[in-house]
Amino acid sequence: MASLVGAFATSHGPLLVREWQAVPDEQKQRLSAAFRELGKRVSGAKPDVIIAVAPDHWSNFFLDHLPSVCIGVGEANEGPPEPWMKDFPHRSIAGHPGLAMHLVKSALDEGFEPSVSHRLKLDHGICIPLWRMGLEPMPRVVPMIVNSIEPPFPSVARCLAWGRQIAKAISSYAEPLRVAVLASGGLSHSIGERTMGAIDESFDRECIARFSSDEKSLLRFLEEKLPQAGNGTEEVRNWVVAHGAAGGRGFELIDYLPVPAVIVGCGFASWRP
Amino acid sequence: MRDYWLSKLFFDLQSPAAAAEYRSDQGKVLARYPLQENVKRALSANDVPFLAERTNAYLLRYYFFAIGWKDEEFIRRLRGG
């Protein structure tokens, strides 16, 4: 049977690539060290497949069709479409159709209704972490897109339930695969709105603390505070999926630092197996 | 509120080729979209707050990035500067 070998979370942001030279040296070193440590933990778990939980930044979906949750079931995923991601070393990343379709079918059996895509572009939200963590060779990637870009969004409680569902589905997949969950997004940031550039450090630190408290406390906090902490902060939903997959316990912060040069409160974490 | 065609324009301009064409001949590209006249005027005037009310915030940022603005200028205009 397959097994969940780890859950991990990281921030992302275009300016981590486009404006990297503008990041002060000390913060560059901390960000690089955090990505390295995260990569070390992911590699140490020896995953055959990574379920990458991230938003779609208008790379695959438009107003015509906006799924709340979409699982990529294709043999291959396309590399990032953003021109400034041209140095990312993969134009194609293998998927795992068997596991992906099992996730979908298991979810449907349990009252979830994911959308399905047989060909997804993996934008910077997934590829910056994969790149900066230095994962080579690249494991297969099953993308799980959770909408946090264009309202309405899935509830935080639903994201937690999705995490639990993913873990349950992994444990019932017949092939002996090692599977990791990697959440990408958050912490606080604000994009294209009047508060753009703001980082809500107090929100971020409280959010981090709540991942180590009980689930009710985490959900109560996020349901109340997420809508006030900047639109990009909505991506914390992906961390909640990872938290649910990990059984809501074992959260361990690797590092947190607000980085004004990339306009993101950058957090890195894993959950102890 | 979402203006579909304005949003579609911004979405399409994520393509570098489309963005280059838009920068060289804005009128030619705009003619392909059934935009309202006040929206066309707002695009010509770079009226950021007006456009912000009609599209997704990420698409808005992509648009001003595509036409060559720095974030600092975009943020200043977003705040009505």
Say yes or no for a CB contact (<8 Å) between B61 and A192: yes
Say yes or no for a CB contact (<8 Å) between A58 and B60: no
DSSP element (H, E) containing A70: strand A69-72
Encoded tokens for A69: 């949750």
- Per-residue pLDDT tens for B24-79? 999 999 999 999 999 999 999 999 999 999 999 999 999 999 999 999 999 999 98
| CA-based torsion, B24, B26, B32, B33: positive or negative | positive
Alpha-carbon span A206 to A209, nearest angstrom: 5
Q: Give the pLDDT of residue B1.
A: 86
Nearest CA in chain B to A15: B71
DSSP element (H, E) containing A271: strand A264-271
Alpha-carbon span A189 to A229, nearest angstrom: 7
Encoded tokens for B7: 């949003």
- Per-residue pLDDT tens for A220-247? 999 999 999 999 999 999 999 999 999 9
Q: Give the pLDDT of residue B81.
A: 66
Encoded tokens for B20: 């280059």
Say yes or no for a CB contact (<8 Å) between B61 and A57: no
A260 touching B (Cβ < 8 Å): no
A152 touching B (Cβ < 8 Å): no
Q: Residues of B with CB below 8 A from A153's CB? A: none
Say yes or no for a CB contact (<8 Å) between A62 and B74: no
Q: Is the pLDDT at A94 greater than 80, yes or no?
A: yes
Best interface-test mutation with B: which of A196, A199, A233 has the largest number of B CBs within 10 A? A196
Cα separation values, A12 from A55, A130, A265, A266, Å: 11, 10, 10, 8
Contact assessment for residue A7 and residue A270, using Cβ atoms and an 8 Å cutoff = yes
A57 touching B (Cβ < 8 Å): yes
Q: Residue A101's closest CA among A121, A74, A122, A77?
A: A74
ipTM of the complex: 0.95
Q: What angle do CA A272, A164, A10 make, to 5 degrees?
A: 50
In total, the C-beta contacts within 8 angstroms joining chain A to chain B are: 49
Candidates B8, B56, B75; nearest CB to A196: B75
Encoded tokens for A122: 């993996």
Rg of chain B (C-alpha set): 12
Best interface-test mutation with A: which of B2, B75, B76, B78 has the largest number of A CBs within 10 A? B75
Predicted model pTM? 0.97
Alpha-carbon span A186 to A232, nearest angstrom: 6
Alpha-carbon span B36 to A109, nearest angstrom: 46
